[in-house]
Structure 1
Amino acid sequence: MAGAIVKYGIIGVGMMGREHLVNLYHLRTQGVAVVAIADPHLPSQQLALDLAHSFTWPLKVFSGHQELLDSGLCDVLVVSTPNMTHHRILMDIINHSKPHHVLVEKPLCTTISHCKEVVNAARKRPDILVQVGLEYRYMPPVAKLIEIVKGGNLGHVKMVAIREHRFPFLVKVNNWNRFNINSGGTLVEKCCHFFDLMRLFVGANPVRVMASGAIDVNHKDEVYDGKVPDIIDNAYVIVEFDNGSRGMLDLCMFAEGSKNEQEISVVGDIGKGEAFVPESVVQFGTREAGRDGVQTLKAEDHRIKWVASLLNISSIN
C-alpha cells in the first residue's frame, strides 16, 4: 500500500547483521524500518541496540528467530546467522503462517540436500520471495564486466579465471567459521561468490569439478575446545560447464600483500574482459583490435550512495 512502512527484522546481528542494519537505515527515506532483531549472543544484541539507538530506531529484541516470527512484527527478514543455522531458520520462515520475504546471507545452506529442501519449500510459497545475498554480482566493476559480457562484446565465453588473494577469515562468535562442519568449508563459505559468477558469465551449468587445496599457513596454531581448525587456506579449482566453457579459481588466504583482492578474467572467442576489486577498474578489448585497442575504465555506480565500512563495525560476528 502506498506510503506504508516496510518493517524489517534481522536474524543474527553480528558483523554482517549490523552492516545490514546500517544499510537499511540509509534506505529509511524509501519507506523501510528495522523494528526487530533476534540473536542469542548478548554482546551482539547490545552492539545492534547501540547502533539502532544512534539512529533513534526502537528495536524489539528476541533471543531466537521463532519468537521474532511469532511476534508478527515484520514483513521482511534478513538472515545473517552462522552458515550451519540457515537451513533450520529458513525452513521455519518459509513454513510460517505469516508470509515473510527473506534475504539470506550466502551460502544458502551448507549441504546440497538442505539447499534442495529450502528451494523446494520456497517454490511452494509463491507469496514470498527468498533471495541469497550474493553481492559480488552488484559490485560496480563486476556488474560492469557482466554488462560487457552479456552485451556480446566478448563473443561466446570460453574461459573464466578468478583469482582471490586476500587476508584470512575474521574472528567470529565462538569461532564457528574455523570448522568445515559449521561453515561448509572455505570453498562454500567464501568462494560460492565466484562459482556463482562463473555460472553467470558462461550461461551454463557445471558438470565436472577438479580441485586441489590445503591448510598451509592459517589457523594451524589455533585450538578451540581441543580441536584444531580444519578449513583450507588455499586452493585451485577447475569447473567444466555443460556448454564446453571452463572456469578456474585461484584462492589464497595468506596473500595480504596484493593490490587487488579479486582479479576476474572472462575470455570469449572475440575478446577479453577483466575486473579488478577493490581498485574498481575494468579493462576489455577484442582480438581484432589487439593490445592497442584495450579500453580501461573506472567502474562506478552512482545509485550506490552509502558503503558500510567494515572498519567502523566490530569484527565480532
Structure 2
Amino acid sequence: MAMAEETPSRLGRGLAALIGEDTAFALGDKEAPPPKGVREVPIEFLRANPFQPRHNFRPEDLEDLANSIREKGVLQPIVVRPVPGEENRYEIVAGERRWRASQAAQLHKVPVIVKELTDAESLEIAIIENVQRADLNAVEEAAGYERLMQQFSYTQDQLSKLIGKSRSHVANTLRLLALPDSVRGLIEEGKLSAGQARPLIGHAEAEKFAREIVAKGLSAREAEALTRKPDPAAASTKPKSLPRAEKDADTLALEKNISDQLGLKVEISYSGDKGGEVKIAYKTLEQLDEICRRLAGRTAQKMQ
C-alpha cells in the first residue's frame, strides 16, 4: 500500500500529529484525565498489530504491569483502528503491552480510543511510541525503519524528523541489519548493545568477536579496539607485498585535493588497462556516515 500523501507534511510532529493532542497526551502522562472519545470494549474484540515493530515482550515486565493493572486498572487507553469488513473487531495501534498484560490480569474490558488510520500511519505510531519509550531493541528499531523505507517510501531524512533522532542515528541503526543472524540475536536478547555491535558490521569474524565481547563484558570502545587488533596467525602467513610503483605528480595532486576536501587519508592506485581503485581511510563510524552523506548528496545533485 502506498504511503498516504499527507504523511510527509506531518513528519517531526510526533504522536500528537498522528493520533490527536488528547490521545498523545494520555499516552505520555499517566496522571492525565481520560481524553475525549475513550470507551471500554471487551478485550477479545482486540487483536495484535501486524505492523508492531516490537517482537520481544519480557514475561517479567508483563507480569509487573499485570499486577499494576489488577490494582489500579488500565490508566492509559489503547489506541486501535477498526478492522475493515469485521464488526466489533479492532487492531491495536499503540498499547499492545497493556493489552497483553490486561489479558494476564484477566480483565474483561479495556479502555480504547478508535482512530481511522492507514497502514503507514499505524506503523509510524507503533515505532514512535516504542522509540520514545525505549521499548525496542536496536534490531527491532532497525527493522521498523527498513519497513517504513521499503514499504512506504520514506527517506532517512524523513525518518530522522519523524522519530526526533539524528540522521546518523537512523543510518547507524539500519546498518545493524547487515550483521549475521546470530549477532542480531544477541542484540535482541539484550546481551549485546548497538554500540558494541557496530564495529562488527562487515567484519569477517563478527560472530567470534561478538561472543568474546559478551563473555568479557567489553564496552563499546573496547569492542571497537578488539576488532582492530591484527591476527598474529594471519600476519605470519601473509605474503610480503610487492614494492609499490611510484605515483606521478598528477595522481599525488589528486590524492591531496580529495584528502583536503574530506579531511581523511585518500589513496589512488592505477593499473593501466585493469583500471584502479580509490581508498578512503576512516577512523570512526561518524566519519563513514559523513562520506556516505557526501556521496549521496553528489548523486542527488547529478540526478536533478
Q: Which is higher, the Rg of structure 1 or of structure 2?
A: 2
The structure whose RCO (Cα within 8 Å, separation 6+) is larger is 1
**Normalised TM-score (structure 1):** 0.28
The structure that is helix-richer by fraction is 2
- TM-score, length basis structure 2: 0.29
